[in-house]
Structure 1
Amino acid sequence: MEGLSKSDANLIVYVHPSQSKNVDKAILRELSSLLFKYSQAFDGVVLAYSVDPQDKCARILSGVHPYFGVRLRANLLIFSPKPNMLLEGKVVKITRESIHCIVLGFSSAIITDENIRNELKYKAKHGEGVYVSRYHKRHVIKVGAVIRFEVKSLDEEILHISGSLIPANAGSVHWLCSPVMKLG
């Protein structure tokens, strides 16, 4: 899946003097506050980190509150979807007008009917909606399936993705990875 990258970052974490007895815990708390939020500094969402302190010395900052800065090196896993990238998500809801899915367990995505290729038609089967291909009856998109879609746009504030199933390499991952798809 596109949109995931590793980043090596040199950071300075500012710690309040009241946290000076347990600096490691204060650093981890500060870095944890970055998780699953869009960060302009990293141009994406920080999903995970590992930390390596640079040195044992901290610099005290002058001012009203004497915070001290701790230099560290962090390895970050960043989710940064851009338009035209391919992402995968698990389908959680299907209606005649849209397909809703969850990407990486935390970001919601929607594919509206104008972004679903004409080959895929909505049908109600056993009381649930599904999208079935006109040409390949085994190509089915239903709740619980994993789909691959193209990113159209991203709302950074609420981490909501708008996607498309128009490209030929988009659809049910089960179908796209099947030997029948590779032959035909």
Structure 2
Amino acid sequence: MECLKVSEAKMVVYVHPSKSTKIYDAVLRELSSLLFKFDENFDGVVLAYEFDILDKSAKILSGIHPYIGVRIKAKLLLFSPKPDMLLEGRVVKVTQGSIHVIVLGFASAVITEEEIRDEFVYKIKHEEEVFSSKFHKHHTIKVGTMIRFLVKSLDEEILHISGSLIPAHTGCIRWLAKHLDDDTITGRSKKKRRENEEESILQDHGTVSGEALSFNSDHRIKKSKKEKRPKAES
């Protein structure tokens, strides 16, 4: 998911002097207190971390309650959903006016009726509430379905996400994956047929392309491994 990112940061963790003989454990405890909470400094929810202590000789800070400042370098896995990003989650509740989702096992999301595209119709099948596509009978959303949806907004305090199923590339992940695979296969067949036609035309004119190009799945152009062939003399 594009809302997951890794961030590296140099930090100072403040440890009580009574923990001076167990600095590593004390730092571990402090970092653990950041987990599954939105942190403004990192602009995201900390999901996991690893760290190294940079300075073995920590400095004791003066004050009424002195603390030890420990400098560390940490690598953090952050959950940072922004508007228009795609998220994936498991449906936990379906009603006539909404779809409720859990993301990564801890964040809740709701997709209201206004954000469900007209393609989906609310039905009750076998005593189970579902949203079913009018155009693709196998494209259904019910409790337990893994769906992909668009982020509209995030309530940082309670980690509640408002989502949308308006875009055509959102919905049941399993159905979308099969649908995209079919499109890919069709696209490859058309591309292969087009390449054969172009090569035939070039050969008819006494010219062979000196360098072939192909597209990978990221739509970046790369040179093929075919060897260059000399142009035919006119």
The residue type equivalent to 1:68 in the other structure is I
Q: CA RMSD in A?
A: 1.2
Quote the Cα distance in structure 2 between the aligned partners of 1:22 and 1:60: 15
Secondary structure of 2:23's aligned partner = helix
Quote the Cα distance in structure 2 between the aligned partners of 1:174 and 1:157: 32
Larger Rg: 2
Quote the Cα distance in structure 2 between the aligned partners of 1:11 and 1:175: 44
- 8 A contact 1:175–1:181 mirrored in 2: no
CA drift at 1:65: 1.1
Quote the Cα distance in structure 1 between the aligned partners of 2:8 and 2:108: 27
* Consecutive unaligned residues in structure 2, runs of 5 or more: 187-234
CA drift at 1:41: 0.5
CA drift at 1:20: 1.1
* Consecutive unaligned residues in structure 1, runs of 5 or more: none
Deviations 1:35-94 (A, max 9, x none): 000100100100000011112110111111110100010110000000000000000000
Change (3 A) 1:102 1:12: same
Quote the Cα distance in structure 1 between the aligned partners of 2:179 and 2:171: 15
| 1:36 matches 2:32 | no
TM-score (norm 2): 0.77
Deviations 1:88-136 (A, max 9, x none): 0000000000000100000000000000000000100111100110001
* 2:21 match: 21
Quote the Cα distance in structure 2 between the aligned partners of 1:40 and 1:107: 17
Secondary structure of 1:169's aligned partner = coil
* 1:168 match: 168
Alignment identity in percent? 63
Quote the Cα distance in structure 2 between the aligned partners of 1:69 and 1:15: 6
Quote the Cα distance in structure 1 between the aligned partners of 2:104 and 2:11: 26
As a proportion of its length, which structure holds more strand?
1
Matches within 5 A, 1:1-184: 1-179=1-179, 182-183=182-183
CA drift at 1:166: 0.1
TM-score (norm 1): 0.97
The residue type equivalent to 1:38 in the other structure is F
Change (3 A) 1:39 1:117: same
Runs of 4+ with >6 A deviation:
none
- 8 A contact 1:92–1:102 mirrored in 2: yes
- 8 A contact 1:91–1:101 mirrored in 2: yes
